[in-house]
Structure 1
Amino acid sequence: MEPLIHIDGVSKVFGAQPAIDSLSVVFEAGRLNGLVGPDGAGKTTLIRLLAGLLKPSAGRLRVAGFDPVAEPAGLRDVVAYMPQRFGLYEDLTVMENLVLYADIRGVVGTERRQTFERLLSFTDLARFSERLAGRLSGGMKQKLGLACALVKVPKVLLLDEPSVGVDPISRRELWRMAADLVGQGIGVIWSTAYLDEAERCDHVLLLNQGKSLFSGPPGDLTAEISGRSFLVRGLGSERRQVLQRALKHPSVIDGIVQGANLRLVLAEGAPPPTPAELGAPPTASLDPTPPRFEDAFVARLGKRQTGDSPYAAREALGTAGEVTVEAKGLTKRFGSFTAASEISFAIKGGEIFGLLGPNGAGKSTTFKMLCGLLKPSGGIARVSGFDLMSAASQARGRIGYMAQKFSLYGDLSVRQNLDFFAGIYGLAKGGVPVIAKMVEAFGLGPYIEVNAGALPLGFKQRLALACATMHDPAVLFLDEPTSGVDPLTRREFWGHINALVGRGVTVVVTTHFMDEAEYCDRIGLVYQGRLIAEGSPDRLKARSRTGACPDPTLEDAFIGLVESVERNGRGHDAT
């Protein structure tokens, strides 16, 4: 049988830069195929080539028996495409969007009625059919995008990072739907920045600079680094400092915080370091642990971490141990709807506090009240001792804020953005040396006159962090700061955050990426507008341990705690 997708020596060049470079790979029908790689690897370009939206510069493509260039009409009948960004009409309802796509695909009469019933049931959107698409949660938007793509049953479904910005519960639902489609014989191509998702695929293509570094079952790549993954346990509060030292050890090529522990990956053939060599306390141990696909991914890319950050050598900004962010009975109502109800917690200097919750649970509302973007309906929010209701300007002067979406001025250059934020923070007179320091620290010099909107994603992050921290805030608010970012860029970002925390800065972060939440000292889980659990990542995981799941992940804990509230109707249960 002819493979579902046959890519033979395909290249795609933009200007002089190849986005896809002499790529040859085969995808079979009835399989879930993962497409992974660092930012700029060529994932989106490849998906657009398969969808017939781009023409290859060289080579041949066949998708479900059709040549996308020579036979576009035939291709449109067998391929469904869901783009990376929500591409539906936000001022139309769920049903109106479905009707529009059915009109476009020529689905009419009885077939239309049956298709709508099937898709609304499949995505659990029937009860939201009259809601405007723009008012859906992130997870529901992705489900609607998937439903519109499936109005006509395809042979090939192309999904470009469908789970970005989606909470763990919705992610699992999307995976269940993808598995159901594969069971019907549909070939699914799932591009993702989340490597725990890649581990679930039947086949994975790892791209870097448009070239294939690996193609095959994910377990085959993971097996290549067997015996090279270790956990450093018993570190107490010193795990960030030990990580910085570990990343400079010649045996270590990768390291991340994993709850109370560190996860290290060693170079091929390198002897394991002793805990003492890493500057770990006498209580620490270095224990082998099964490798993960992410370990193998980073090892195959061959880009060694250094752990260096421009913040590491600078003076302290806060006093560790003192309460710097406080919520007391924090409540927000929108008309008759209560988005956040009686939320209380305190965060100390030098601590990372994660606000987690499903889409629409109230965590973003709580987050915005704490950083002064929303006025509470009741309760108290304090930052560095200043009440955000009565002393908002003083409180905001102590805050740094990095938005979920790139929120700088895309039509201004890097220099102009830095100048603008220096003025906002009252650094106009001393702004030039501050700006020069940021440019040097983050390696922005080659892009100083480039418009921010045209920067590579990793440099957009560097610029956003530079603008958020140039005034040396005592508290840094991060709203899903690495959503959709590849693991290498994510590691660089968290190296900077760990260095800031080492200087006593308080960090409040929202995220849907559970491996990222492992960096937090404590987590507050918000659901149905209430704080339902609070504690360290390891304590939350311990609460979810069962005979059927003896070693739960943080994602297991997240889903288990939410489901427990659904069953029992319990409120806040701190641990």
Structure 2
Amino acid sequence: MEEDVIRAEKLNKVFSIKGKKPLTALNGLSLSVKKGELTAVIGPDGAGKTTLMRLIAGLMNPTSGSLTVLGMDSVKDAEEIQSRISYMPQKFGLYEDLTVQENLDLYADLHGVPQEKRPERFGKLLDMMGLAPFTGRFAGKLSGGMKQKLGLACTLVRSPDLLLLDEPTVGVDPLSRRELWKILKTFVKEEHLSIFVSTAYMNEAEMCSHVFVLHKGNLLADGTPEDLCRIADGRCYNVLPEEGVPTRILQAHLIDETKLIVDAVPRGGTVHFIMEKGVDEIPYLKRHHLEPTPVPAKLEDGFMTLLRKAEGHEAPPEEAEDVLDRGGRPSSEVNIVVKNLVKKFGDFTAVSNTSFEVHKGEIFGLLGPNGAGKTTTFKMLCGLLPETSGFLSVAGVDLRKARTQARANIGYVAQKFSLYSHMSVLDNLKFFGGIYGVPKGRLSERIRELCQEFDLEDVLDRLAEDLPGGYKQRLSMAAALLHEPQILFLDEPTSGIDPLARRNFWRRITTLAARGTTIIITTHFMEEAEYCDRFMIQDNGILLAIGSPSEIREELGQPGADMDRIFIEIVERSRKEGEKS
């Protein structure tokens, strides 16, 4: 059909891996994408989303089946297709040592954009992306959100018939994400552009006309966002925890009821959960006399219902009956002290006079837009970056005087997978155990404990590079915990992983905190602030807000607001006040 910009019929893609059984990335996939619409594909790690994108872009050939793009055969007409589409992969190739303008010029040259058409096109793109004042800035000096917008501008230097975007907002803050999606919707409306996008954010998928759900190369479901919401109709509830009980503790109790509960997640100061059909008695809620309230289903509820059906539940962690209730609140013991912290890079102040404390067993979040100073703060707390002035004490050790001693008490999980890709899971754990100085007699026992806790027993012989994203993250966590640190630093640990993997990750973090480990985390998934005992929001190096989720909602007079909204309001309010002064 002319109206279909993409049409797949029984599409298969199998990868041959030397010495291993073939990997089926797409399995008999049939779908069609309409012209002039914003269409999303969602699914967990290993679903086949990126493989599908690369096939559509003509960067690889299918094993069997047929794929037409803009009415042309994806294999025979690959060059013609590529001349009419634009594709922005997850790692888009900006030239960091070129300016914004030079990047645009280079991509215009590559795409053969005539000189006379460039001023008007560049002007529109720079204006829409908010990059007009920064044309002379090097791409490497842009914040993460601005880099993504420049990547999109470079992708759109010509007006394509089809735009492919592979997770364009991973690692981007809510403010920049909102701006990016506003731009996409404008292009659909004004230029009737057809956009096919993969995303890990369900609220982004909700903005699309049609959504495809992939799982292990199969199409689980597709339809409008409203169609996918209906999958969980009549099964969604919100429940308030008892006074003084963190929402993550209630969520953990509910999510462990694997026969009764499909999904549970902290949301808006409550715990939102989906029941299995026909179940109306949940032991924990009855025991604590908690009354759930029925609420409408969201797209994420339909997605989680489909995934749980396809994947089943992970077994809940084995732990003492009362570990969650015992460890639900941080202790009075202070693990981290920050006083008047300042970090300057030449004339630029990245962190300005920041003070706070973090308690033992507390989950403490560092939030802020791209370029806000949170990563700089994070690195100073870890001992990876010296402060310009101020005082920092971690696990009772003054970082200025005894940085090495302080590091012995901390574990660190980097934003980008930082283990050894060409080593097996077991060899990575042995290597990092040696680096952390874990005694040999204790190391094998510790590896066994962590492999059981993080479900790594079945992948011990696999190379780290061959693991799906969720497993890589588990391996990073296990390696960081080998020496049983008092404090665990997590730098955007859930960036780019799907909601199911995020639930499993946070269930483990809840247990760690309950056992007394202090957790410091940076994240761009604002919903994850709900798991924190307290969090702080920074922008332009300045501390804007600090407190528990309920305290910050109360301060803004928005008791049930979601964290994206809270975050955007605090940052925008501060920026407006800054403009006035």
TM-score of the superposition, structure 1-length normalised?
0.94
Instruction: Write the distance in 1 (CA, Å) between the matches of 2:450 and 2:496.
Output: 25
Instruction: Write the distance in 2 (CA, Å) between the matches of 1:554 and 1:404.
Output: 21
In the alignment, residue 373 of structure 1 is paired with which amino acid? L
Are the aligned partners of 1:541 and 1:556 in contact in 2 as well (CA < 8 Å)? no
Which residue is 2:445 aligned to? 433
Bigger drift between 435-444 and 456-465 goes to 435-444
- 1:432-511 alignment to 2 at 5 Å? 432-511=444-523
Instruction: Write the distance in 2 (CA, Å) between the matches of 1:450 and 1:117.
Output: 50
> Helix, strand or coil for the counterpart of 1:13?
strand
Which residue is 1:362 aligned to? 373
**CA deviation profile, 1:207-241 (whole Å, cap 9, x unmatched):** 01111111110111112212211112032325444
- 1:162-561 alignment to 2 at 5 Å? 162-183=168-189, 184-235=191-242, 236-249=244-257, 250-258=259-267, 260-273=269-282, 276-277=285-286, 279-280=287-288, 282=289, 284-301=290-307, 302=309, 303-306=311-314, 308-309=316-317, 320-429=331-440, 430-545=442-557, 551-561=560-570
Are the aligned partners of 1:326 and 1:381 in contact in 2 as well (CA < 8 Å)? yes
1:91 and 2:103 equivalent? no
* Cα displacement (A) at 1:539: 3.2
Instruction: Write the distance in 1 (CA, Å) between the matches of 2:514 and 2:497.
Output: 24
* Cα displacement (A) at 1:439: 2.7
> Helix, strand or coil for the counterpart of 2:292?
strand
- Residues 319/144 of structure 1: CA separation in 2 closer, same or farther (3 Å cut): closer
Which residue is 2:7 aligned to? 6
In the alignment, residue 110 of structure 1 is paired with which amino acid? E
* Cα displacement (A) at 1:398: 1.4
In the alignment, residue 250 of structure 2 is paired with which amino acid? V
- Residues 311/473 of structure 1: CA separation in 2 closer, same or farther (3 Å cut): farther
Identity %: 45
Which residue is 1:30 aligned to? 36
> Helix, strand or coil for the counterpart of 1:400?
strand
- Residues 310/276 of structure 1: CA separation in 2 closer, same or farther (3 Å cut): closer
Bigger drift between 293-302 and 355-364 goes to 293-302
Which residue is 1:106 aligned to? 112
Instruction: Write the distance in 1 (CA, Å) between the matches of 2:557 and 2:30.
Output: 44
> Helix, strand or coil for the counterpart of 1:4?
strand
Are the aligned partners of 1:541 and 1:553 in contact in 2 as well (CA < 8 Å)? no
- 1:68-83 alignment to 2 at 5 Å? 68-83=74-89
Instruction: Write the distance in 1 (CA, Å) between the matches of 2:472 and 2:113.
Output: 42
Instruction: Write the distance in 1 (CA, Å) between the matches of 2:281 and 2:465.
Output: 43
Bigger drift between 234-243 and 487-496 goes to 234-243
In the alignment, residue 316 of structure 2 is paired with which amino acid? D
Instruction: Write the distance in 2 (CA, Å) between the matches of 1:23 and 1:423.
Output: 46
Which residue is 2:121 aligned to? 115
Instruction: Write the distance in 2 (CA, Å) between the matches of 1:290 and 1:157.
Output: 33
* Cα displacement (A) at 1:275: 5.1
Are the aligned partners of 1:259 and 1:519 in contact in 2 as well (CA < 8 Å)? no
Are the aligned partners of 1:543 and 1:557 in contact in 2 as well (CA < 8 Å)? no
* Cα displacement (A) at 1:310: 6.1
Are the aligned partners of 2:268 and 2:562 in contact in 1 as well (CA < 8 Å)? no
Instruction: Write the distance in 2 (CA, Å) between the matches of 1:259 and 1:433.
Output: 41
Instruction: Write the distance in 1 (CA, Å) between the matches of 2:246 and 2:193.
Output: 49
Instruction: Write the distance in 2 (CA, Å) between the matches of 1:434 and 1:389.
Output: 31
RMSD: 2.2
Are the aligned partners of 2:267 and 2:562 in contact in 1 as well (CA < 8 Å)? no
Are the aligned partners of 2:4 and 2:32 in contact in 1 as well (CA < 8 Å)? yes
Count of residue pairs the alignment pairs up? 565
> Helix, strand or coil for the counterpart of 1:224?
helix
- Residues 69/310 of structure 1: CA separation in 2 closer, same or farther (3 Å cut): same
**CA deviation profile, 1:237-283 (whole Å, cap 9, x unmatched):** 25444333323433212112335422211012222426543x43x5x
**CA deviation profile, 1:407-431 (whole Å, cap 9, x unmatched):** 1111222122111211122114332
Are the aligned partners of 2:48 and 2:214 in contact in 1 as well (CA < 8 Å)? yes
> Helix, strand or coil for the counterpart of 2:232?
coil
> Helix, strand or coil for the counterpart of 2:46?
coil
* Cα displacement (A) at 1:373: 0.9
- Residues 231/319 of structure 1: CA separation in 2 closer, same or farther (3 Å cut): closer
> Helix, strand or coil for the counterpart of 1:518?
helix
1:161 and 2:167 equivalent? yes
Are the aligned partners of 1:32 and 1:189 in contact in 2 as well (CA < 8 Å)? yes
Instruction: Write the distance in 2 (CA, Å) between the matches of 1:85 and 1:545.
Output: 40
**CA deviation profile, 1:487-509 (whole Å, cap 9, x unmatched):** 11111111110000111111111
Instruction: Write the distance in 2 (CA, Å) between the matches of 1:307 and 1:320.
Output: 29
Are the aligned partners of 2:337 and 2:392 in contact in 1 as well (CA < 8 Å)? yes
Instruction: Write the distance in 2 (CA, Å) between the matches of 1:305 and 1:340.
Output: 42
* Cα displacement (A) at 1:451: 2.2
Bigger drift between 240-249 and 320-329 goes to 240-249
TM-score of the superposition, structure 2-length normalised?
0.93
Bigger drift between 298-307 and 247-256 goes to 298-307
Unaligned runs of 5+ in 2: 17-21
Instruction: Write the distance in 2 (CA, Å) between the matches of 1:568 and 1:307.
Output: 49
In the alignment, residue 460 of structure 2 is paired with which amino acid? I
Instruction: Write the distance in 1 (CA, Å) between the matches of 2:353 and 2:291.
Output: 42
Instruction: Write the distance in 2 (CA, Å) between the matches of 1:409 and 1:311.
Output: 31
Instruction: Write the distance in 1 (CA, Å) between the matches of 2:319 and 2:403.
Output: 27
Are the aligned partners of 2:256 and 2:316 in contact in 1 as well (CA < 8 Å)? no
